[in-house]
Chains A and B, each alone.
Chain A
Amino acid sequence: MCLAIPVLIKSIKNKEAEVEIGGITRRISLWLTPEARVGDYALVHTGYAINILNQEEAEETLRLFEEIAKAEEKS
């Protein structure tokens, strides 16, 4: 029910954005994320962006996983 999926914001007009979800273009609401910019990945829940995904944090997390995988391979 709290399902939210990452989508790429293609364009913004007023409080709405055009996004692509699985090849289909949809309009989503930006009422909850006024900071959204074109090119951001938003977490979308029931047609509303509930957050803008943080790319740096995502890369940092993946780097950590890679370090763990390397360390575990050695041990």
Chain B
Amino acid sequence: MKFITEFRRSELAEGLVSQIHRESKTPVRFMEFCGGHTVTIFRYGIRQVLPKTIEMVSGPGCPVCVTANADLDKAIALSQTLEVIIATFGDMIKVPGSRSSLQKEKANGAEIRIVYSTMDALQIAEDNPDKSVIFLGVGFETTAPTIAASILQAEERGIKNYYILSMHKLCPPVIRALLDSGEVKLHGLICPGHVSTIIGSHPWEFIARDYGIPCVVSGFEPLDILQCVDMLVAQIEKGESKVEIAYRRGVRPEGNREALKLIEQVFEPYPTEWRGIGEVPNSGLRLRKEYKSFDAELAFDINPRPTYEPKDCICGDILRGVKTPADCKLFSKACTPEYPVGPCMVSSEGSCSAYYLYGGNFGG
């Protein structure tokens, strides 16, 4: 058991697809919240094998995509500060802010390092004691505990030149905001797998209870997605709405208590801005006052100039699930992975990138 290829077997996929076709009677629209699921769905052509009764829409589950331009501008402004090294996950580097991108600043001489892990960023801080290392804290509940752990490690190792620009976001509050807006009507939600590895399945229960929408937590292999769709269809046809876990090998109902403890210790929720969605109450994480010495926003004087959005880019509408990349007049013309206009084309998990790489003319 290697936990990968076993969940890609085509003969098992055929069985699941056949069962879905046989059982699905009611026309429904399911949203996959997570960008990782979007990639699996496109890479394996899952939309094409589902019956006509099932429409799939992609949600806002791409942390790079939902980072507001104002936050990107702050990161870019920080990179222009003297004696600063920016450490960031690679996806952030090409995202255009209002006037520049981290990639452009790097070309202009800013010290920007792409890291795989906060452990690498800590090492850079330890190796460069005369510089300040600022880690761009982007990510959902999956990533937040790793950032929290890095702060505790910095404390333990006496590293004083390590800072976080915290742009972390929480998933359940933004799903509530999307559902409350009423813009997109959903009949089922494919809940994010690795966010649920951390938070468990209980935080999704309000969706099934208050909005009557079936929820199933899915893994990231093609059989996982098919199983999840099959379980959503079963709930729909029985007239049920509850939270179930399909990804049982990777998710426990209670989540990862150790990771949750670290998030709770280091961060506190606050209202934050999502691209295309606006400010959502309690949907961001900022450092608690005990850890303020690690907060880049407090340690540095950041003065980004006013922000503005790229003209004609509809990433915001795409993130809310009300439009698809096929509706965008820039898509695959002015906006491509090589020369992206909006973040959904930059991130490997962005909807525009998935449509561009795998969608062909199918588009939806």
A positions within 8 Å CB-CB of B? 1-6, 27, 29, 31-34, 41, 43, 45-48, 50-51, 53-55, 57-62, 64-66, 68-73, 75
Contact = CB atoms under 8 A, between A and B. Distances in A.
Nearest to A8: B2
A6 B4 contact: yes
Contact of B259 (A47, A50, A54, A58): A50
Interface residues on B, range: 35 or more
Contacts of A2: 34-36, 61, 63, 139-140, 142-143, 192-195
Interface of B: 1-4, 6-7, 9, 11-12, 14-16, 18-19, 22, 34-36, 61-64, 89, 91, 116-120, 138-140, 142-143, 145-146, 149, 152-153, 192-195, 197-198, 220, 223, 227, 230, 246, 248-252, 256, 258-259, 262, 347, 349
A53 B3 contact: yes
B227 A1 contact: no
B119 A61 contact: no
A54 B250 CA distance: 7
Contact of A47 (B61, B118, B262): B118
Contacts of A62: 6-7, 12
A55 B249 contact: yes
Nearest to B347: A1
Contacts of B140: 1-2
A47 B146 contact: yes
7 contacts: A2-B193, A2-B194, A6-B3, A46-B143, A50-B142, A50-B194, A53-B249
B249 A57 contact: yes
A32 to B, nearest CB: 4
8 cross-chain pairs, A with B, having the tightest CB-CB distances, nearest first:
A47-B117, A69-B15, A6-B3, A58-B249, A72-B18, A2-B142, A57-B248, A31-B149
Contacts of A72: 14-15, 18-19, 22
Given A33-B256, A58-B6, A65-B12, A45 B146 contact: yes
Given A50-B197, A69-B11, A75-B22, A29 B249 contact: no
A24 to B, nearest CB: 12
B138 A4 contact: no
Contacts of A27: 119
Nearest to A64: B227
By CB atoms of chain A within 10 A, which of B119, B249, B258 has the most?
B249
Contacts of A55: 1, 249
Contacts of B63: 1-2
A54 B249 contact: yes
A6 B349 CA distance: 19
A60 B145 contact: no
Given A50-B142, A60-B248, A61-B227, A6 B259 contact: no
